[in-house]
């Protein structure tokens, strides 16, 4: 009578198999991370396209004028008293508090989108309701994006309530919308729906190894970047380095893609009558 003998794995063979699996995982993980990041970048890119399309629809319905950028709408300010809804929210709905989806729905362009997810980059890390310098990041709970304050001439002239400028008054390459820097130490970057260019852009898109978000110099020299939208309705990826080439110095010495107030020789609007 013959008996069968089942041979088990030796310890060495088992260790070899484990080593092979570990090597495969080490090879595949960066690839999978890259694929996931690229997919999220595509989502963010599409968010920008939808936001700019909604802005264009608003312009078509309002004689070409861009919706107000929610610049400094504090109680008693001109824009607050004018009861002019901004692109992101209506300041009369909720003052000095974390914004909610209800506030988002009161914004000038929400009716063209009706999807709060369009306002959030999937790479933007929570928490969104944190405090900076003891003050709330008011709009971070509802968006990852900010509009260029040039749309409102950075709160300067022309001294009248909405509307301010038409979309066609900007150059096609002028940057009107960008992704805010979630690691900024400045409270003002998230205190309303718009910003000065030097307040910064995120570095969340790009290789993790190129992100130095711990120092100002690191952010200025970063090869990582983010997505921006232009007045010509194009959407593009820009490095943090190239962004700050357009944002600095402050004050500017000439108009740039970011310092782009129509009719201003400096681009910051301070020289307008």
Integer CA distances (angstroms), 183 to 10, 137, 199, 242, in order: 51, 12, 11, 19
What was the pLDDT predicted at 260? 97
Under 8 Å CB-to-CB from 152, ≥6 apart: which residues? Answer: 68, 69, 71, 79, 164, 194
What was the pLDDT predicted at 38? 79
Rounded Cα gap, residues 264 and 119, in angstroms: 30
Q: Quick check: 180 and 190 in contact, CB under 8 A?
A: yes
The count of other CB atoms within 10 Å of the CB of residue 161 is 13
What was the pLDDT predicted at 92? 78
Residues of the chain short of pLDDT 50, as ranges, are 208-209
Q: Quick check: 235 and 248 in contact, CB under 8 A?
A: no
What was the pLDDT predicted at 208? 46
What was the pLDDT predicted at 151? 93
What was the pLDDT predicted at 145? 97
Secondary structure string (H, E, C) spanning 206-270: CCHHHCCCCCHHHHHCCCCEEEEEECCCCEEEEEHHHHHHHHCCCCCCCCCCCCCCCCCCCCCCC
Rounded Cα gap, residues 128 and 147, in angstroms: 18
Single pTM value for the model: 0.83
Under 8 Å CB-to-CB from 74, ≥6 apart: which residues? Answer: 80, 95, 96
What was the pLDDT predicted at 187? 67
What was the pLDDT predicted at 74? 61
What was the pLDDT predicted at 255? 97
């Amino acid at each position: 009578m013959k008996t069968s003998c089942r041979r088990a794995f030796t310890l060495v063979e088992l260790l070899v198999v484990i080593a092979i699996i570990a090597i495969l995982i080490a090879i595949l993980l960066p690839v999978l991370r890259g694929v996931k990041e690229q997919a999220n970048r595509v989502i963010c890119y599409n968010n920008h396209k939808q936001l700019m399309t909604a802005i264009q629809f608003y312009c078509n319905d309002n004689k070409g004028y861009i919706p107000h950028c929610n610049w400094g709408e504090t109680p008693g300010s001109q824009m607050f008293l004018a009861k002019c809804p901004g692109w992101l929210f209506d300041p009369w709905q909720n003052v000095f508090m974390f914004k909610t989806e209800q506030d988002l729905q009161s914004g000038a362009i929400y009716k063209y989108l009706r999807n709060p997810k369009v306002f959030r980059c999937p790479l933007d890390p929570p928490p969104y309701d944190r405090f900076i310098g003891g003050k709330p990041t008011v709009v971070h709970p509802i968006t990852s994006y900010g509009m260029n304050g040039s749309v409102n001439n950075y709160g300067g002239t022309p001294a009248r309530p909405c509307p301010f400028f038409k979309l066609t008054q900007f150059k096609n390459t002028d940057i009107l919308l960008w992704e805010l820097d979630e690691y900024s130490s400045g409270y003002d970057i998230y205190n309303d729906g718009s910003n000065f260019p030097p307040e910064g852009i995120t570095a969340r898109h790009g290789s993790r190894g190129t992100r130095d978000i711990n120092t100002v110099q690191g952010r200025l020299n970063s090869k990582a970047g983010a997505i921006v939208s232009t007045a010509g309705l194009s959407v593009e990826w820009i490095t943090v380095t190239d962004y700050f080439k357009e944002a600095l110095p402050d004050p500017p010495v000439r108009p740039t893609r970011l310092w782009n107030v129509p009719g201003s020789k400096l681009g910051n609007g301070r020289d307008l009558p």
